[in-house]
């Protein structure tokens, strides 16, 4: 059986999350450490799997309470790191031991408990932003709602974009780009998860997105390859783990996979994917203005961002016309699910900006 580390990524491959393959049960204290230990091999081979699993089952409700009732930041970070690790199994080396556990009851039990408590915490927080029940069932009104929501910017959103445009240094931009890397290397996969059948119209639009993401079938032109070239030109390496130190970016990332890997959340996944296609072009304009301030060869070096401005403008409108509208025409009760997915993404984007503001010490 191969471990993840035994297969090093080729230059044109995306670095995978490194599951630390430990079979020693010493120094395993946190939820994410317990999960990684339990994933590290067949449980019959692992000496302490029974004990660690019992401890985990006993402690899980306690940490979930700290995270989602007391809003303890350390607990929130630990829970989201654990969920991130669980979702990464779906993208791990197929020959690694972690895949033995992909559908194991112990793992599904933990994942479901975390997801249920987490969503019960999140959904009430976006209630005020949602359209009314009747608006959500009308394609034109729901389309307008998506456009309106995508345009709303908080003071911190404006402050972060202005900072990137006018003030951020080369080092701060490097941090920003590395922070964005984790999702950018998974974005095509989030689209692929939404491709599973609902209708031919929806499928056709998502395929267009995937076609763009994959460089129109030319591997070196894929968005992931463009991102890797950008990192290399900045002297940066692909991170194998997120560089985040706060729960907010983890939560934003995890939403894509909580929705994408649970069929019952399919429509939320669609709304969640549609929203960035609408708000990203204006975000990318500020980023490009900042990069042009710092680099005379920005257009060559940062093709990734330039290409996204044009592509996302086109995709945003297409998602509204070819995905959101036809789904609600066919199944009006899906409208509220689409809206929940969209509102959650707006909340995730705002939290991401709060995290950036904290990291750069701005917008106080
Ligand atoms: Fe992309």
pLDDT at residue 295, as a whole number: 96
Query: Do 86 and 191 fall within a single domain?
Result: no
pLDDT at residue 219, rounded to an integer: 93
Task: Please return the burial class of 133, using the count of CB atoms within 10 Å of its CB with bins 0-12, 13-18 and 19+.
Answer: exposed
Query: Of 65, 97, 123, at which residue does a domain stop?
Result: 123
Q: List, for residues 189-244, the tens digit of each pLDDT value.
A: 999 999 998 999 999 999 999 999 999 999 999 999 999 999 999 999 999 899 99
128 domain-assigned? no
Residue numbers of the domain that contains 269: 135-360
- pLDDT value for 23: 59
Q: What is the mean pLDDT of the chain?
A: 91
* Same domain membership, residue 207 and residue 109: no
Look at 10 and 270; give whichever has higher pLDDT: 270
In angstroms, what CA-CA distances link 177 with 84, 103, 182, 300, 350? 20, 34, 10, 16, 17
Crossing angle for the helix pair 303-319 and 223-233, to the nearest 10 degrees = 150
| pLDDT grade for 307, boundaries at 50, 70 and 90 | confident
CA 308 to ligand 1 center in whole angstroms: 6
Query: What number is the average pLDDT over the span 136-162?
Result: 95
Claim to verify: residue 225 and residue 96 sit in the same structural domain: no
**Shared-domain flag, residues 104 and 243:** no
112 with 139, same domain? no
Task: Count CB atoms within 10 A of the CB of residue 116.
Answer: 11
Q: Give the integer Cα–Cα distance in Å for 275 and 129.
A: 14
214 Cα to the center of ligand 1, angstroms: 9
Q: What is the pLDDT of residue 1?
A: 34
Indicate the number of domains in the chain: 2
Q: What is the pLDDT of residue 308?
A: 85
CB 326 within 8 A of CB 199: yes
- CA 288 to centroid of ligand 1, rounded, Å: 15
Whether residue 8 is predicted with pLDDT greater than 70 in this model: the reply is: no
Question: Final residue of a domain: which of 123, 150, 170?
Answer: 123
Is a pLDDT exceeding 80 seen at residue 311?
A: no
How far, in Å, is the centroid of ligand 1 from the Cα of 316? 13
d(CA 208, ligand 1 centre) in Å: 12
Last-in-domain residue among 60, 93, 123: 123
My answer on whether 323 and 237 are in the same domain is: yes
Residues 81 and 178 in one domain: no
> Is 333 part of a structural domain of the chain?
yes
Ligand 1 mean position to 227 CA, how many Å?
A: 9
Ligand 1 centre distance from Cα of residue 187 (Å) = 7
* pLDDT at res. 22: 62
CA neighbor of 335 nearest in space, from 115, 129, 130? 130
Both tokens of 205, joined, read 């639009």
pLDDT tens digits, 287-302: 999 999 999 999 999 9
The token pair that represents 318 in the structure block: 């297409």
Check whether residue 89 and residue 160 sit in a common domain: no
Q: How far is the CA of 71 from the centre of ligand 1 (A)?
A: 33
* Residue 364 confidence (pLDDT) above 70: yes
Between residues 50 and 313, the one the model is more confident about: 50
Report the distance separating Cα 364 and Cα 358, nearest Å: 8
């Amino acid at each position: 059986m191969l471990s993840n580390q035994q297969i090093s990524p080729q230059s044109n491959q995306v670095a995978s999350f490194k599951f630390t393959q430990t079979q020693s049960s010493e120094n395993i204290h946190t939820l994410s450490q317990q999960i990684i230990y339990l994933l590290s091999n067949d449980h019959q081979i692992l000496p302490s799997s029974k004990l660690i699993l019992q401890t985990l089952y006993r402690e899980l409700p306690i940490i979930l309470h700290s995270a989602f009732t007391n809003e303890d930041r350390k607990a929130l970070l630990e829970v989201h790191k654990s969920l991130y690790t669980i979702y990464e199994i779906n993208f791990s080396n197929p020959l690694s031991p972690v895949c033995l556990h992909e559908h194991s009851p112990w793992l599904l039990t933990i994942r479901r408990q975390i997801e249920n408590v987490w969503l019960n915490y999140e959904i009430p927080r976006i209630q005020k932003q949602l359209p009314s029940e009747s608006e959500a069932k009308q394609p034109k009104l729901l389309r307008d709602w998506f456009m309106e929501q995508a345009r709303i910017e908080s003071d911190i959103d404006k402050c972060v974009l202005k900072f990137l445009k006018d003030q951020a240094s080369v080092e701060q931009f490097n941090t920003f780009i590395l922070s964005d890397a984790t999702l950018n290397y998974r974005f095509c996969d989030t689209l692929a998860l939404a491709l599973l059948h609902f209708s031919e119209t929806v499928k056709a639009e998502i395929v267009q997105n995937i076609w763009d993401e994959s460089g129109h079938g030319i591997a070196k032109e894929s968005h992931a390859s463009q991102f890797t070239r950008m990192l290399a030109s900045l002297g940066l390496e692909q991170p194998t783990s997120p560089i985040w130190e706060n729960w907010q970016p983890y939560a934003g990332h995890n939403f894509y996979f909580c929705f994408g890997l649970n069929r019952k959340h399919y429509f939320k996944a669609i709304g969640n994917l549609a929203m960035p296609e609408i708000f990203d072009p204006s975000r990318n304009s500020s980023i490009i203005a900042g990069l042009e301030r710092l680099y005379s060869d920005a257009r060559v070096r940062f093709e990734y961002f330039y290409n996204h401005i044009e592509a996302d403008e086109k995709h945003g409108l297409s998602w509204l016309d070819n995905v959101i509208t036809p789904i609600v025409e066919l199944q009006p009760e899906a409208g509220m699910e689409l809206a929940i997915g969209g509102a959650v993404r707006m909340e995730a984007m705002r939290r991401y900006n709060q995290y950036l503001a904290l990291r750069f010490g701005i917008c106080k």
